[in-house]
Amino acid sequence: MSVNKAIDMQKELSQATTLEELQRATEAIRDEYRVDHVVYHWVNSVGERFGCGTYSTEWIDRYLEKDYLYNDPVILGCFYRFDPVNWKQLDWSSKGAREMLRDAMDHGVGPQGFSIPIRGPKGQYAVFTLADGRNDQDWQDLIEARRKDLILVSHAFNRKALELEEGVFNLQSAQLSPRERSTLTLLAKGNNRAQAAKELDISENTLRVYVESARHKLGALNTTHAVARALADGQIVV
């Protein structure tokens, strides 16, 4: 991605009015850089979390289930930094960190990564990340060549996140489709994915599409988060 392309991406982000458009932007950047994943995760001034990106729901659910947040070198390292960091510069020596990295790689994440910590007003905090499986030299070459425009794009994401926090657009604008509402309703009632798919007379793969679409619309980190937001919005009732 050239600097001009990065500027074009910033303009596109400035016009985004839904979380779906932010999600599509992460997918576009992933494809442009030809990396495995692009993820943007932010915490607003009251501590509520939002996220968009290309990690699979399975990995996000696994990450939360195993409480990797508490020994994730990326999160811990970025929290005390203001400058971008290559994951290889972080401390992966602990048993918990090594276990998390092995698990992440089993889910198609890493071992290469580049994360940009961002801080906004009133305690707002965000991390913009690229992750990939290429070798060390190829990854270093990519990061050195694209560092500046990555920083530009990451801050464009953050500006849009701050607009969200200030109410320029809100989750009420993210209307779920009837199938998405039915899917989240069944999951909210305690059905597993196989049971929900059977109830809706669709395949589990199709159900996965509805779950992912709903998650992206709501800016949810995982399925449980999507259900909680849909309930809070009044879009589903249990």
pLDDT at 169: 44
Confidence of residue 18 (pLDDT cuts 50, 70, 90): confident
Reference 79, options 29, 36, 103, 43; nearest CA is 43
As a whole number of angstroms, the distance between CA 58 and CA 56 comes to: 5
pLDDT at 168: 41
As a whole number of angstroms, the distance between CA 237 and CA 107 comes to: 33
pLDDT at 42: 83
pLDDT by residue (tens digit) across 137-164? Answer: 999 999 999 998 899 889 888 888 777 6
**What predicted TM-score, i.e. pTM, was given to this entire model?**
0.76
pLDDT at 178: 93
Tell the residue number behind the tokens 């991605």, with chain if given: 1
pLDDT by residue (tens digit) across 28-44? Answer: 889 989 999 999 988 76
pLDDT at 46: 63
Could you tell me the two tokens for 52? Answer: 């968009």
Report CA 122 to chain centroid distance, whole Å.
22
CATH 1.10.10.10 fits 171-233, yes or no: yes
Report the range out of 1-15, 46-60, 171-185, 187-201 with the highest average pLDDT: 187-201
Domain-by-domain residue ranges, the chain? 3-165, 171-233
pLDDT at 92: 94
Tell the residue number behind the tokens 């395949």, with chain if given: 203
As a whole number of angstroms, the distance between CA 61 and CA 173 comes to: 26
As a whole number of angstroms, the distance between CA 151 and CA 78 comes to: 14
pLDDT by residue (tens digit) across 126-139? Answer: 999 999 999 999 99
CA gyration radius, the chain: 18
Q: What topology does CATH give the domain 3-165?
A: Beta-Lactamase (3.30.450)
Whether 57 shows a pLDDT value over 80: the answer reads yes
pLDDT at 215: 87
pLDDT by residue (tens digit) across 209-223? Answer: 999 889 888 878 788
Whether 13 shows a pLDDT value over 90: the answer reads no
Query: Is the backbone of residue 4 left (phi > 0), alpha (psi -120 to 50) or beta?
Result: alpha
The pLDDT of 82-93, averaged and rounded, is 93
